[in-house]
Structure 1
Amino acid sequence: MKINLDEIIDPMEGRIVVTHDSSGHPHARFDLQGLPRVDGMLVGKTALEALKMTEHLCGICPVAHHLAGTRALDALSGLTPLTPAAQLIRRLLHYGSIVEAHSLRFLMQDRDAGVALKRISKKMLVAAGSPGHFPATAVPGGVSVWPATPTLCDLSADLATARDAAERLCDAALASSPEAAGAGDFTGADVALIDDNGAPDVFGTRVRVARNTSAVDEFEFSQWNDRITEEIPGSPAPRPYLRAEGPENGCYRVGPVAQLSVGTLSTPRAATAQARWLAGGRGAAGARAIITLHVLERTEALTQQLTQLLEGADHGELVDPATVRFTAGSGTGLVDGPRGILAHTYTIGADGTIAQARILTPTAQNEPWLAQLLTQASALDQARQAEAWEQSIREADPCLPISSAPAGQMGLKVENV
């Protein structure tokens, strides 16, 4: 698997392109040309080859790609619905990846809390069967490993401490309530996954669209490509939008801010923090802490449920991916990852290979939002621009190492054209 680039990409550097309209007003955008689309790499591969490749598509969010790709193939495997135990194991894997991703940010805010969350995330990933950096838990139609009971017990013993650390981070973020310039002025919609009861759920089964925290649409995964389309298909910055509203009015964002804006969380401590967040600045830093608290609260109940299922005799069988047969057609899999919804759509031909693939990342979906934030920052006086540009990038959180760089160290280059 190889991608050829026509320039050297510095992972700790980003480029902001600023243009001016006929009235002299600045318009800024973040250059995504260094992040080529990888959809085409999957075409011609078998479904299982494609699944293996998805695990390595992104070194920053490998679990999200792994699970979104597997969910897309679930629909074509004929092995749905999954057993409750398999669903819980996948959910545990996803929760662990979210806590791990957000813990890196928290290290700069509260080192002790960040370390506690990093440790618990590792235990979550190990319990879910993926101890290494790249996941190996999910296979079409199920999972490839059952957790050991002692591993789940070890995880359960430390969850309360980790939950308290996350709650402390929520309190700190909500007390300071930092905002990117214009963060509260986003004019588009919020899009996130929900559960069967309509509550926000990072491993949900439906998609909700909301404006100003009020739901305006809901749909199934299978309708994703009917509801979401690209203004510039195939581009690293495809400008996706809600098809029914058109490219001018159909802009939307995904991620923790959107996740807290489409409904009330289902766990008590996180829901309390969410109410404070909605009444305040609604910044991404607080949203990340609240989502972390939420998934840790859910993990406490999840480990108990999973232990009970595995101690019983009817938790199902492990799936050998080599025995799975796929039907021709299209399948779409979504997860709400650390940065927002990741969507994989695969079309399998009669010969069993991928005939078409479409992968829409949170970075691509949030590019219009980031452009709006950067444009608002560009209108500030020069003394405040640099800090506002950095805060804008932290808010929209593109999937690049610079997003978590310390203040003043993003290595941003500004190009006026």
Structure 2
Amino acid sequence: MNANTTPEASHARRATISIGQVVDPLAAKVIISTSPPAGVSRKNPSKEDWERDPFGIARFDLHGVPRVEDFLVGKPAREVPALVTRLCGLCPVTHHLAGIATLDQLVSEQPSEPALKVRALLHYGSVLDVLGPRVIASQGRQAQIAVKSIGKNALALAGAMGHFPDVAIPGGVRIPKGWQNGQSSETVTTQRHAILDALDAAADLLDAAYSAVNSAEANANNSHHRKWKLPPFPGAAVRLADANPLGQEVEVTLGEATQRYSAAEFAANLIETIPGAIAPRPMLRLHGQWVPFKVGPTARFPEELSAAAAQVALVREALGRVGTLVEEFPHVVAQLGQEPAREVGDGIGVGLVDGPRGLLMHQYEVEGGVLRKCQILSPTAQNEPWLAYMLGAAFVQYAGEEGGQERMKYAMEQAVRAADPCLPCTQAPEGMMNIEVEYEPFKGKG
């Protein structure tokens, strides 16, 4: 559903959940368009086909990633940030913070500096929890546990005691559990010291993981699976400005040109070219033209040579920020006052968070305290054109080679890992993602 969907229209489309099938959590389905139609005289798309329509010959099957707006329209606006964390349970903290940032714009007072620091600790703890174990896998199981434990303790310190956070409220935050008059309980003190004691060792492990990624890139041609180099993306890179993952100003880069948008301007300059679809193919208006774009670590850290290196860089940044915030956290909590339950007014709000997988956008229209219109664009939806571009490039490079199927599937796995869709397959160990390639009649440009 896009931002123009009405409550009445939302009932015209229902989400369907089927439980009568066995699902392979490591499966990743790639659909290739053929020309002419399959069953007539199948001809695989060529490099020329891909160059003519680079987003049209391959796509990633996202049927397991639902649009959740239908479930939210008509609900009390204050309840939406909690509801969406349960509908999109893989990144609950990011959705919680984006939903609250949206409602911040509809209340009388904005969050104080201490409240923003509590939210920041929640965010960076989530990055360590969600992305940390994957990027440090090369250092072994104990390294994964060490980084994830720091993330979990940071989340708990900020007040998230379970999987679904209830920390931020419109215009502020709740005082984290375990604090009374700025003083911490024994449990909270233990959590805080556990984080501080583990930082240096975790930093060393992440440095080793970063070196391992770059070493693998440098020696790629000598590996059993030739490391596939991601093709240069012709679209824009989108991230939150000033390295502030909870900011409300967007920085867009295309080639040498950079432009900034406020959150509201960013939403106003976005279109879903397939409105309401799971893969809506969003485009951004930039300098008078509609362009595809990507989000995530490669947009946040464009100087990195690979997507894997950018992901490690994001986790390293999160670890450093957690250390700073935890060190000063008693002072931060001491400055927090008991937040009043501020009334959510009518209007339109746009909230942004640059989460572990990239930029998440929530846009709500509230009337009488009730959500009347809603648009949520996940990093998965925004990165889908970029992923389609990479999958098409992998197909035309290897599909025609003798014995090229193995290389093609390995390249497609690297593309999926780079775009990092919000699906269980991204948790698969390196080389173990089950890439399934299917064919359908060609639907690209003529």
State the TM-score, normalizing by the size of structure 1.
Answer: 0.86
Q: Is 1:219–2:248 an aligned residue pair?
A: no
Cα distance in 1 for partners of 2:431, 2:193 equals 42
Cα distance in 1 for partners of 2:332, 2:433 equals 47
Task: Please identify, of 56-65 and 163-172, the stretch whose mean Cα deviation from structure 2 is larger.
Answer: 163-172
The one-letter amino acid of 1:347's match is E
* Secondary structure in structure 1 of the residue aligned to 2:86: coil
TM-superposed CA distance for 1:415, in Å, is: 1.2
- Pick aligned residue for 1:185 from 219, 232, 245: 232
- Pick aligned residue for 1:332 from 327, 336, 350: 350
TM-superposed CA distance for 1:152, in Å, is: 3.2
Q: Is 1:375–2:389 an aligned residue pair?
A: no
- Show the counterpart of 2:283: 241
Task: Please identify, of 377-386 and 302-311, the stretch whose mean Cα deviation from structure 2 is larger.
Answer: 302-311
Q: Is 1:5–2:17 an aligned residue pair?
A: yes
Cα distance in 1 for partners of 2:257, 2:136 equals 34
Cα distance in 2 for partners of 1:376, 1:331 equals 38
Q: Is 1:194–2:241 an aligned residue pair?
A: yes
Q: Is 1:146–2:176 an aligned residue pair?
A: yes
Tell me if the contact between 1:210 and 1:216 (Cα under 8 Å) persists in the aligned partners: yes
Task: Please identify, of 94-103 and 300-309, the stretch whose mean Cα deviation from structure 2 is larger.
Answer: 300-309
- Show the counterpart of 1:251: 292
Cα distance in 2 for partners of 1:191, 1:242 equals 10
TM-superposed CA distance for 1:345, in Å, is: 0.6
Q: Is 1:123–2:153 an aligned residue pair?
A: yes
- Show the counterpart of 1:267: none
Tell me if the contact between 1:347 and 1:354 (Cα under 8 Å) persists in the aligned partners: yes
Equivalent residue runs for 1:168-183 within 5 Å: 168-177=208-217, 181-183=228-230
Q: Deviations over 1:80-120 (max 9, x none)?
A: 1x111110010000001011111231353111332221111
Equivalent residue runs for 1:178-327 within 5 Å: 181-195=228-242, 200-212=243-255, 214-244=256-286, 250-261=291-302, 277=304, 282-311=305-334, 315-320=335-340, 323-327=341-345
The one-letter amino acid of 2:17's match is L
How many matched pairs?
A: 385
Tell me if the contact between 2:64 and 2:423 (Cα under 8 Å) persists in the aligned partners: no
Which protein has the larger Cα radius of gyration, Structure 1 or Structure 2?
2
TM-superposed CA distance for 1:324, in Å, is: 2.4
TM-superposed CA distance for 1:245, in Å, is: 6.0
CA, structure 1 residues 54+299, in 2 after alignment: closer, same or farther (shift >3 Å)?
Answer: same
Cα distance in 2 for partners of 1:220, 1:361 equals 18
Q: Is 1:388–2:406 an aligned residue pair?
A: no
Cα distance in 1 for partners of 2:200, 2:248 equals 28
Cα distance in 1 for partners of 2:89, 2:72 equals 17
Cα distance in 2 for partners of 1:118, 1:182 equals 29
Percent identity reads 35
* Secondary structure in structure 2 of the residue aligned to 1:65: helix
- Pick aligned residue for 1:102 from 124, 128, 131: 131
Q: Is 1:15–2:15 an aligned residue pair?
A: no
TM-superposed CA distance for 1:305, in Å, is: 3.4
- Pick aligned residue for 1:409 from 419, 432, 438: 432
Tell me if the contact between 2:175 and 2:333 (Cα under 8 Å) persists in the aligned partners: no
Q: Is 1:357–2:374 an aligned residue pair?
A: yes
RMSD: 2.3
The one-letter amino acid of 1:356's match is K
Q: Is 1:33–2:56 an aligned residue pair?
A: no
CA, structure 1 residues 62+56, in 2 after alignment: closer, same or farther (shift >3 Å)?
Answer: same
Cα distance in 1 for partners of 2:169, 2:347 equals 18
TM-superposed CA distance for 1:400, in Å, is: 0.3
- Show the counterpart of 2:40: none
Tell me if the contact between 1:204 and 1:335 (Cα under 8 Å) persists in the aligned partners: yes
Cα distance in 2 for partners of 1:405, 1:223 equals 37
TM-superposed CA distance for 1:180, in Å, is: 6.8
- Pick aligned residue for 1:137 from 162, 167, 171: 167
TM-superposed CA distance for 1:39, in Å, is: 1.0
The one-letter amino acid of 1:95's match is Y
The one-letter amino acid of 1:317's match is G
* Secondary structure in structure 1 of the residue aligned to 2:74: coil
TM-superposed CA distance for 1:237, in Å, is: 0.5
Cα distance in 2 for partners of 1:56, 1:245 equals 38
The one-letter amino acid of 1:370's match is L
Q: Which runs of 5+ in 2 are unaligned?
A: 1-13, 37-42, 47-56, 221-225, 441-446
Q: Which runs of 5+ in 1 are unaligned?
A: 262-273
Q: Is 1:60–2:60 an aligned residue pair?
A: no
* Secondary structure in structure 2 of the residue aligned to 1:243: strand
CA, structure 1 residues 292+107, in 2 after alignment: closer, same or farther (shift >3 Å)?
Answer: closer
